[in-house]
Structure 1
């Protein structure tokens, strides 16, 4: 008896759940039919991403689906609107990464747009320009807005289908642009990077006038960390204006080229405190560099009783003047014949407190 009662209770419970589920399905179908029978009242567009990086506006998205009357959803029955087709049309826009479309309870067509975010702007040899996003896709330049991203000049081709070498270069541009764009210091310091003929990178920082030879777009974090250490430990001590080129393409060292091969000028020495050098020592000058010809050094006459001298005859004056000019010309020719000094190099290794100089220069 108790067993039969238990079975009947279970059947009754199952029947009640079945009826509730059936009622829910009926209500859901009725709601869907009622919604599908309604008409689209309007279009709402929402963007996702950075608020200051919108290259398209809501009106641009709306025009993609309203310019064709057969596709315009406004005023049509919701059940007759092909949402998948509208999403595919919006996704074709080069600035749109993804689009989602749905209807709300107010019968409004909502379009949620995820926009492509550029990481670099590229200029080709021919002068054409485009953006690259984080996956290396080309994005056209907008006439409405310019993205604040690193600029790369000298890209070797305008072709849409890239060769293997150009694809590799594109990937390095994306990595470099992403790294610089995500670092406020380097974004402020590095404005434009130049692509060399051998597909390497160089740039001139905003602070300083040196050319920074970066090499290939690999080991990016290590190279920028090394350059920052050189700024702190090297240039802050030896001066920011002593070098024309800083090469960070090597492992664990920075190779620098001095300006014109000339050491920094000595401070100006007043003439009343000047001590004449010995005959075998060149004098210090604040106007001539170390590669200039050496001036004639003369010894002062001994201090003694000065007797009035007779004025030499005009012929003697001319003879003495010619002799002096002959000596000066001979010394100038000898100085000019001397071999030119090589441009000095400086090699810096991170962690050292001083900058070691060496005449050897490594090439990447």
Structure 2
């Protein structure tokens, strides 16, 4: 037998061996899959993910959702007949469940991984209805058995699920503000109630300190809270936490405080750097909204008004002696005001 023929026979034999091994593997795999499909589901195991402090959904609730429909109950049913996709949709219909993943493990158990919705704030509408708000902006119904410890927003103007443009903007600002408060340990402990005013602005009542913080609209949230924190450290730590009745952080780079009693305590020190804000102190609530800048602008015209008054008086003393010399000219009486007005201009030029 020639060498080329021997080589070809070896290659054919090797290919047949590999082909047989692959065929056997496929047969075994198919048998295992068929055996798996014929095996019945032994039970349900639920795993909850999310904040443990918000126990709005527990393991029993999830199992009750899955087994509620007897036709879809996977327990003691052949695995091939378990509709995992349909069960996922049913579980995710619950308003307190954000997402769910279902699969059959090697122990023939239905594994259910559930991610709960974590509320950021509780919202009370103007009509008195209430709901929770999560990070996705979804409304979560209130539970009868549990109440989450989150900041409260009051006087939201709309109850409808589909909001108008202006209500939708306010809703988004409320969500951003609630998300920032929830993410910060200090503000989560400090902010107790946020009130939505009639002009769609925010103000809140802190837990520490006898004052109200006027926040303005829900934009530039981080910067406003940073300025307020600087004021707490640099201002209230020296003047006292109960010195001011109202703090306003609505204006850019400013914190305006309204003192309870102007003589009871000195105002906090003025400061300005890259990380701090200007502090202005007013004596009444009417001046809180007005920035400090208009005061300096109004002070500028005062010295300019005094100078022309003095010059006019000096120039009017001399024309008093001239009427005797100009008596022969009757028309000069009409020209005196213009002459008096022009003389100051000539002297000013010199």
Give the shorter-chain TM-score range.
Answer: 0.7 to 0.9
2:166 aligned with 1:165, yes or no? yes
On the 8 A contact 1:252/1:349 being kept in 2, the answer is no
Structure 1 pair 358/72, CA: closer, same or farther in 2 (3 Å)?
closer
Which position in structure 2 is the counterpart of 1:300?
none
Aligned partners of 2:24 and 2:96: how far apart in 1?
46
Output one character per residue of 1:120-152: Cα deviation in whole Å (capped at 9) or x when no partner: 111111211111111101111112222222211
On the 8 A contact 1:35/1:78 being kept in 2, the answer is yes
Which position in structure 1 is the counterpart of 2:78?
77
2:59 aligned with 1:51, yes or no? no
On the 8 A contact 2:230/2:277 being kept in 1, the answer is no
Secondary structure of 1:204's aligned partner: strand
Which position in structure 2 is the counterpart of 1:178?
179
Using the TM superposition, give the Cα deviation of residue 17 of structure 1 relative to its aligned residue in structure 2, in angstroms: 3.6
Aligned partners of 1:9 and 1:165: how far apart in 2?
81
Using the TM superposition, give the Cα deviation of residue 26 of structure 1 relative to its aligned residue in structure 2, in angstroms: 1.7
Structure 1 pair 81/358, CA: closer, same or farther in 2 (3 Å)?
closer
Aligned partners of 2:55 and 2:19: how far apart in 1?
51
Which position in structure 1 is the counterpart of 2:92?
91
Q: After TM superposition, list the pairs within 5 Å mapping 1:113-124 onto structure 2.
A: 113-124=114-125
Using the TM superposition, give the Cα deviation of residue 349 of structure 1 relative to its aligned residue in structure 2, in angstroms: 5.5
Using the TM superposition, give the Cα deviation of residue 97 of structure 1 relative to its aligned residue in structure 2, in angstroms: 1.0
Using the TM superposition, give the Cα deviation of residue 194 of structure 1 relative to its aligned residue in structure 2, in angstroms: 0.7
Output one character per residue of 1:70-117: Cα deviation in whole Å (capped at 9) or x when no partner: 121212111112111111111111111111111122221111111111
Output one character per residue of 1:23-45: Cα deviation in whole Å (capped at 9) or x when no partner: 22222211111111111211111
Higher deviation after alignment, 152-161 or 18-27: 18-27
Using the TM superposition, give the Cα deviation of residue 157 of structure 1 relative to its aligned residue in structure 2, in angstroms: 0.9
Which position in structure 2 is the counterpart of 1:263?
263
Which position in structure 1 is the counterpart of 2:238?
237
Secondary structure of 1:207's aligned partner: coil
Output one character per residue of 1:183-215: Cα deviation in whole Å (capped at 9) or x when no partner: 111111111111111111101111111110011
Higher relative contact order (Cα pairs below 8 Å, separated by 6+ residues): 1
Aligned partners of 2:282 and 2:271: how far apart in 1?
12
On the 8 A contact 2:254/2:280 being kept in 1, the answer is no
Which position in structure 2 is the counterpart of 1:228?
229
Q: Which sections of structure 2, spanning at least 5 residues, go unmatched?
A: 292-350
Using the TM superposition, give the Cα deviation of residue 263 of structure 1 relative to its aligned residue in structure 2, in angstroms: 2.1
Q: After TM superposition, list the pairs within 5 Å mapping 1:1-364 onto structure 2.
A: 10-259=11-260, 262-264=262-264, 350-351=272-273, 357=281, 361-363=288-290
Q: Which sections of structure 1, spanning at least 5 residues, go unmatched?
A: 267-344
Higher deviation after alignment, 353-362 or 11-20: 353-362
Aligned partners of 1:171 and 1:221: how far apart in 2?
15
Aligned partners of 1:134 and 1:230: how far apart in 2?
29
Aligned partners of 1:354 and 1:113: how far apart in 2?
48
Aligned partners of 1:236 and 1:155: how far apart in 2?
34
Aligned partners of 2:12 and 2:209: how far apart in 1?
86
Output one character per residue of 1:238-271: Cα deviation in whole Å (capped at 9) or x when no partner: 2322221100011111111122x642189xxxxx
Using the TM superposition, give the Cα deviation of residue 158 of structure 1 relative to its aligned residue in structure 2, in angstroms: 0.8
Which position in structure 1 is the counterpart of 2:345?
none
Aligned partners of 2:278 and 2:224: how far apart in 1?
19
Output one character per residue of 1:274-331: Cα deviation in whole Å (capped at 9) or x when no partner: xxxxxxxxxxxxxxxxxxxxxxxxxxxxxxxxxxxxxxxxxxxxxxxxxxxxxxxxxx
On the 8 A contact 1:347/1:358 being kept in 2, the answer is no
On the 8 A contact 1:254/1:347 being kept in 2, the answer is no
| Structure with more helix by fraction | 2
Aligned partners of 2:116 and 2:191: how far apart in 1?
26
Structure 1 pair 125/24, CA: closer, same or farther in 2 (3 Å)?
same
Higher deviation after alignment, 30-39 or 143-152: 143-152
On the 8 A contact 2:248/2:256 being kept in 1, the answer is yes
Aligned partners of 1:5 and 1:49: how far apart in 2?
67
Using the TM superposition, give the Cα deviation of residue 228 of structure 1 relative to its aligned residue in structure 2, in angstroms: 0.9
Using the TM superposition, give the Cα deviation of residue 225 of structure 1 relative to its aligned residue in structure 2, in angstroms: 0.9
Higher deviation after alignment, 225-234 or 23-32: 23-32
